[in-house]
Amino acid sequence: MQEDNNFMSNNAKKIAGKASLYLIYTFIGLIFFLPFLWMLSTSLKAGGEIFVYPPKFIPTEPRWENYVKAVRAIPFLIYFRNSVFITVMAIIGTVLSSSFVAYAFAKLKWRARDKVFFIVLFTAMFPMQVTMIPVFILYKNLGWLDSFKPLIIPYFFGGGAFNIFLMRQFFLTIPESLSEAARMDGCSDFGIYWSILLPLTKPAMITIALFTFLLTWNDFMGPLIFLSTKEKGTLALGLAMFVGQHGTEWHLLMALSVLILIPVVIIFIFCQRYFVEGITMTGIKG
């Protein structure tokens, strides 16, 4: 009898414990979600409902036409196309070149290897301002200003120290025996890289692709500095169009923000699984 009582109260404690845990998690989740909720609700409000006290989360009548207005106010399709182009190219460039370069540091043995790798990491520690202006001038001299080239081409040259580092970690977890066996069969190093290692690194590639996607899709500074013609804008830049001389059109801006967010959310939910897996498998703990 005694034991039954204990068992019951233990169970109850467990359930109570779990429930309160979920409560806390949900509460925190709500805090994170709240601004996002406001973003959604504002996108459907009429202008006058945004700045009211107490704050209104549910518009009196949802103004779906805000979305239409937002899409019409900027060359939405053109910007969408530009954003997609830049992002896709950046992803391809990063994935291919970071893995290609990482091979040199993970699988090849050469004397200067570790020193050069250190320099790779070293460059990541430089703030971007120190190269910003001369790079701008360089692009001017190359005639790359007001084009997508500055936003894409650099990704093909290694894709950034962080990505090289990640890929290298991943390559290191792949046993040497695989490449050895391939070498014995007459496979060149490029072949090893291409046919054997690369297919095995899908989670890492997806992770890198995801990070790059987030970076470029929402990037505001790059297009801001390098693009000037209106037709060459990106979606993130388009948000700036709603901040005018006499004021900001909050509801339209939020509508556009939601639209820009949708592809990101979809892709993220889709790839979420690979994401955690990818980073775990790089054995990044060490």
Site for another protein in 154-173 (CB under 8 A): 154, 156-158, 162, 164
Name which position in 96, 172, 174, 271 contacts another protein (CB under 8 A). Answer: 96
Nearer to another protein, 44 or 239 (CB): 239
Encoded tokens for 277: 């897996």
Which CB sits closer to another protein, 42 or 66?
42
What is the C-alpha to C-alpha distance for residues 25 and 29, in angstroms, rounded to an integer?
A: 6
Residue 284 near another protein by CB under 8 A: yes
Segment lying near another protein (by CB under 8 A), choices 8-16, 60-68, 232-240: 232-240
Task: Show contacts with another protein in window 66-95 (CB under 8 A).
Answer: 73, 85, 88-89, 92-93, 95
User: What does the alpha-carbon distance between residue 63 and residue 118 come to, in Å, rounded to a whole number?
Assistant: 55
Q: Is the Cβ of residue 44 or residue 120 nearer to another protein in the bound state?
A: 120
What is the rounded CA–CA span in Å between residue 130 and residue 20?
A: 50
Looking at the chain, list the stretches that DSSP marks H as alpha helix, in order from N- to C-terminal side. 2-43, 65-73, 76-106, 113-124, 129-142, 149-152, 161-172, 176-184, 189-191, 198-200, 202-217, 221-226, 235-238, 250-281
DSSP string, 168-208: HHHHHTS-HHHHHHHHHTT--HHHIIIIIIHHHTHHHHHHH
Residues 100-159 that bind another protein (CB under 8 A): 100-101, 103-105, 108-113, 116, 119-120, 123-140, 143-149, 152-154, 156-158
Binding mask 12-41 for another protein (x = CB under 8 A): ------x--xx--xx-xx--xxxxx-xx--
Contacts of 25 (CB under 8 A, 6+ apart): none
CB-wise, 4 or 61, nearer to another protein? 61
204 binds another protein per the rule CB under 8 A: no
